[in-house]
Chains A and B, each alone.
Chain A
Amino acid sequence: MRIALFTTCLVDGLFPHAAAATVRLLERLGHEVVVPPGQACCGQMHVNSGYPAQAEPVVRNHVRAFWPVVAGEWDAVVAPSGSCVGSTRHQQARVARQAGDERLAVAAERVAARTYELSELLVDVLGVTDVGAWFPHTVTYHPTCHSLRMLRVGDRPTRLLGQVDGLRLVDLPDADQCCGFGGTFALKNSATSVAMVSDKADCVQASGAEVVTAGDWSCLMNIDGALSRRGAGVRAVHLAEILAATRGEPWRPPGTRPAAARSAS
């Protein structure tokens, strides 16, 4: 399959290792990955912050960048984020309609129909749960709200994790509770957000895991930030990074080698 990577703006700028891991994983499974250079952002931040009018050019750019998937040039679009995929499915067409652009709305719906969150792509489209990964650590999984309730990815991520060699999956208490990120909520309602994430960090620590994982770096960034602040010694690692790790190319902390290093070799 030829798969286009929707990197997402957050991963592109702050967590490039998650995008590199997604590429590595899909290539290992025998697929071709393309990274459309025109892409930037899905518009979710603007919509959720109350600026849908400003989101319109952002949505337009996204739809233009990924239109080849509708034209048949690629087979699918994948993002290492539940909430960005949720935004393409549930917000983009609405933004376009509110701006009075029905053509853009329909185009956005067509692109969204071929856009998948990583665990959806692997399990539903590619039909794999054992991706041949090796990750010899105790891991707990936080189901992010948008992947849980907007995309309903269900047990796909834990099915994938369950097949990872060496990985011991432990339950996260109160797993379905929001971590308190909520985009600009983390700033506008800082005190409440910090109260929520500190409860989440308590649960992560109580799980006994060395690593907390999720399908979204946004929520992970929040949880990781709180864990780091208290010196908890628990690492946050994106689902893609765990699934990309093998005995031959084990997971290493970001920064210890260049992003997308394997492509360069």
Chain B
Amino acid sequence: MATPGHAPRSSPERLVSTYLGMPGVPPKPAAEPLDPLRWGPTFPEAARGTLGDAQLRTNLRRATRTIRDKRVAVTAELPDWEALRDAGAAIKADAMERLPELLEQLEVTVTARGGTVHWARDAAEANRIVTDLVRAAGAREVVKVKSMATQEIGLNEHLEAEGIAAHETDLAELIVQLAGDRPSHILVPAIHRNRDEIRDVFRTRMPDAPAGLTNEPAALAMAARAHLRALFLRADVAISGANLAIAGTGTVAVVESEGNGRMCLTLPRTLVTVMGIEKVLPDFRDLEVFLQLLPRSSTGERMNPYTTMWTGVTPGDGPQDFHLVLLDNGRTRALADEIGRQALHCIRCSACLNVCPVYERTGGHAYGSVYPGPIGAILTPQLLGLDDADEATASLPFASTLCGACYDACPVKIDIPTALVHLRDRALHDGAPRRPTAAGAAMGAAAAVLSSGPRFRWALRASALAGRVLGGRRVRRLPWPGSLWTAGRDLPALPVRSFRDAWARARRTDGRGRP
């Protein structure tokens, strides 16, 4: 605490960065995560930290509300929006049912057009494949298009360890990479940073940042343009993800805004695309559904500025060496769950994050995964498996009030609340029998009471007794676990008699409640 009359002491981060000669923009989160798919403490614990960050909450509130309003406006102007959602949901469900055939077909069509298809069981295998391809191309650096799949496998960190520099080229990803942060949003990974922080990151970490750089978003974007242009022109290898791939034709698509995607997908000689196996769609015609659902749901635009589609290799136009890496990394584990598998329908639009009241308060870092928000709460635990899940992973399905805003917003109608409830059961009961917990015992006792009218009546009498003792006073503080309620709320005044007892006193009943 600052003492009156004295200058405030430097924060610990400030001291450390001064001593290390590092610029004064501490990364968020501070610790280097071990696994991009799940790092940090349990959700409630992590949320306590982010809830206390007033600046973060202001940034998030403004940002999620802006994008929410835009989405509502552009989806409402389509009279057939619900029909598009129905079609999108059905196309995805169909693709999952036929996944083996579609993947084999995709391999055939991509190969026939001069591409090479690789298969990766897990993150380590995918990272090895990509590293070998970069080496074979003789490159020591790569340019990258924003990609959730490559974040999920920690590709940048792996490449760095192998002596290959991976340059993120999406503006937000660049900010996150320069700051040493973890992304906190699927679409806007630097949503947790405001313009002042971003200017400071650029000033201190971008060697060619212009002198006198202001905090104007346009000025910051131009600084990024100048910084990246040289990289685009010299890079021999690009790495991308894919928004979707068409089995019938071998066409792969990347949907973007800034043109960094086009640069990466056009200029380098070699292109390596890492794609989750669930991204495959059957037919070219299915594009007409997803090219309407995705931009309107994600950025709230009628169409995103740029979409690039390529089919294998086109002689003389774009990369002449194309590799598609098909990634499992837990997806087949999720597919095995008949309720949970709908998480694989996700098209990464992030509409569910923007409407989620929990996400709006806690931010993405509380979820401790590259997949934050409601979709992350059902996807991350399934990708990792729930048989021997750690406490942090098992806490994710509980990070929701089940308010249902995500389900309404989802362009492919993923029933996230139902999946959450189902995964809560799995998080508690999957795997080897666990030691009995206090919560489990309480639920068992509650079930005994709540499955019989007479037993419930006796329980209510105990509560009414407490009501008489309190005489209408409201309890403001309880010991744990009641303290979790009274942390911010008073208890209601307890009645002196339950409804059923009052009713029984008032009316003689004939056993069916008839007077």
Contact = CB atoms under 8 A, between A and B. Distances in A.
Given A149-B404, A188-B44, A197 B398 contact: no
A248 interface: no
Contacts, number: 236
B362 A192 contact: yes
B485 A186 contact: yes
B424 interface: yes
A226 B500 contact: no
B495 interface: yes
A54 B443 contact: yes
A41 B450 contact: yes
B481 interface: yes
Nearest to B356: A178
Nearest to A222: B489
Contact of A180 (B357, B448, B494): B357
A36 interface: yes
Given A7-B499, A196-B357, A258-B502, A41 B485 contact: no
Contact of A178 (B405, B443, B490): B405
Interface string B38-55: 000001100110010000
A34 B511 CA distance: 10
Nearest to A47: B421
B472 A40 contact: no
B489 A35 contact: no
B452 interface: yes
Contacts of B402: 48, 145, 182-183, 185
Given A50-B424, A263-B506, A11 B453 contact: no
A181 interface: yes
B434 to A, nearest CB: 13
Interface in A66-113: 68, 73, 90-91
Given A45-B446, A221-B492, A254-B493, A40 B456 contact: yes
Nearest to B491: A225
B451 A57 contact: yes
Contacts of A34: 512-514
A255 B493 contact: yes
A73 B513 CA distance: 12
Contacts of B487: 190-191, 194
B401 A37 contact: no
A9 B507 contact: no
Contact of B446 (A46, A65, A178): A46
Contact of A260 (B451, B499, B512): B499
Contacts of B429: 50, 53
A197 B484 CA distance: 13
A196 B400 contact: no
A142 interface: no
B499 A4 contact: no
B407 interface: yes
B361 A195 contact: yes
Contacts of A60: 451
Contact of B401 (A35, A40, A178): A178
A181 B453 contact: no
A15 B398 contact: no
A173 interface: no
B421 A50 contact: yes
Contacts of B506: 260-261, 263-264
Interface string A184-209: 11111111111111100000000000
A34 B515 CA distance: 8
B451 A40 contact: yes
Contact of B425 (A50, A183, A188, A258): A50
B489 A225 contact: yes
B466 to A, nearest CB: 11
A9 B407 CA distance: 27
Contacts of A17: 495
B451 A186 contact: no
A145 B498 contact: no
B403 interface: yes
B59 to A, nearest CB: 15
Contacts of B222: none
Given A192-B51, A196-B361, A61 B499 contact: no
Nearest to B500: A12
B421 A188 contact: no
Contacts of A54: 443-444, 446-447
Q: Which of A43, A53, A260 has the most CB of B within 10 A?
A: A260
Interface string B424-438: 110111000000000
A191 B47 contact: yes
Nearest to A194: B488
- Which of A37, A38, A47 is the most central at the interface, judged by chain B CB atoms within 10 Å of its CB? A37
Contacts of A50: 397-398, 421, 424-425, 427-429
A20 B448 CA distance: 26
Nearest to A16: B499
A185 B398 contact: yes
Given A34-B512, A47-B421, A146-B404, A189 B498 contact: no
A107 B440 CA distance: 28
B492 A224 contact: yes
A4 B513 contact: yes
A180 B427 CA distance: 22
Interface in B446-491: 446-453, 455-456, 459-460, 463, 472, 474, 476, 481, 484-485, 487-491
A7 B460 CA distance: 13
Given A50-B427, A54-B443, A258-B497, A191 B48 contact: yes
Contact of B513 (A16, A37, A43, A146): A37
Contacts of B421: 47-48, 50, 91
Interface string B43-76: 1100110010000000000000000000000000
Contacts of B443: 46, 49, 51, 54
B401 A180 contact: yes
B505 interface: yes
B450 A189 contact: no
B361 to A, nearest CB: 5
A187 to B, nearest CB: 4
Given A20-B502, A228-B490, A182 B400 contact: yes
Interface of A: 4-5, 7, 9, 11-17, 19-20, 34-41, 43, 45-55, 57-58, 60-61, 65, 68, 73, 90-91, 145-146, 148-150, 176-178, 180-198, 221-222, 224-226, 228-229, 254-255, 258-261, 263-264
30 contacts: A7-B499, A9-B456, A12-B460, A15-B492, A40-B450, A48-B402, A50-B421, A51-B428, A53-B425, A60-B451, A73-B512, A149-B404, A150-B404, A182-B403, A185-B402, A189-B43, A190-B484, A194-B489, A195-B51, A196-B401, A224-B490, A224-B492, A226-B488, A228-B489, A229-B476, A255-B495, A258-B497, A260-B503, A260-B506, A263-B503
Given A228-B489, A228-B490, A229-B490, 18 more contacts: A14-B494, A17-B495, A19-B499, A20-B502, A40-B453, A41-B451, A43-B450, A46-B450, A54-B443, A61-B451, A68-B512, A183-B402, A185-B402, A196-B357, A222-B489, A226-B489, A260-B506, A263-B507
